[in-house]
Amino acid sequence: MRRLISLAACAALAACQQQPDQPGNTAPVPTPSASPSAAATPVAALARYVGHYPTDAVEGGSSFLADPAVRAAVAAAVPDEGVRARVLDTDVTATPIAEVEGRVLAYGCEPHNCGPHNWAIALAPDGGTGAVCYYDEDRRVARWYPEGAGPNPASGCPSGE
């Protein structure tokens, strides 16, 4: 099951990576090197959260969900205030943050109600570009923000596990 989710996460994140020639996009997201020394060195500011939960304070004292770069990227991607509030809420059941396809991926869900309400934040390691997936069982679709940033699976958002 975890392998299936990981494969779905990779496919979803690959689909949400923006192309540099589209309006409003800057540079493509770099893919980190597979060498061990490069993996031990932070790729960029948000890479310090990889392996930690979204609510864990890390070096510098901030959590992923409280980081100004994360909050700004989510605000830029998600026009719906209710979705933004839920995605950035610290009352969350979450998995450790992962790096998938060159993106920092944080997954969370509503405590005791993960199946019907879950989401993922996928950001470039520098926080410059990002996408948010929000799944609401009532609507039976995972919606990506900004619109068109990824596929709309009926089973939820990628968890990175």
CATH match of 1-17+64-161 with 2.60.120: no
Cβ 157 vs Cβ 134: under 8 Å: yes
What pLDDT is stored for residue 140 in this prediction?
A: 78
Measured CA to CA, the distance from residue 77 to residue 125 in angstroms comes to 16
Distance CA(120)–CA(158), nearest Å, equals: 6
Under 8 Å between Cβ of 141 and 154: yes
And the tokens for 107?
């997954």
- Show the beta-strand stretches assigned E in 38-127: 93-94, 98-100, 103-109, 117-123
The rounded distance, in Å, linking the Cα atoms of 78 and 82 is 9
Is the CA virtual torsion 114, 93, 75, 18 positive or negative?
Answer: negative
Quote the pTM value. 0.71
Query: According to the model, what pLDDT value does residue 80 have?
Result: 92
For residue 47, give the amino acid letter.
A
Mean pLDDT by 10 residues, the chain (161 residues): 38 37 32 32 73 92 92 94 94 94 92 90 86 88 85 73 61
Q: Domain spans of the chain?
A: 1-17+64-161
* 13: amino acid identity, one letter: L
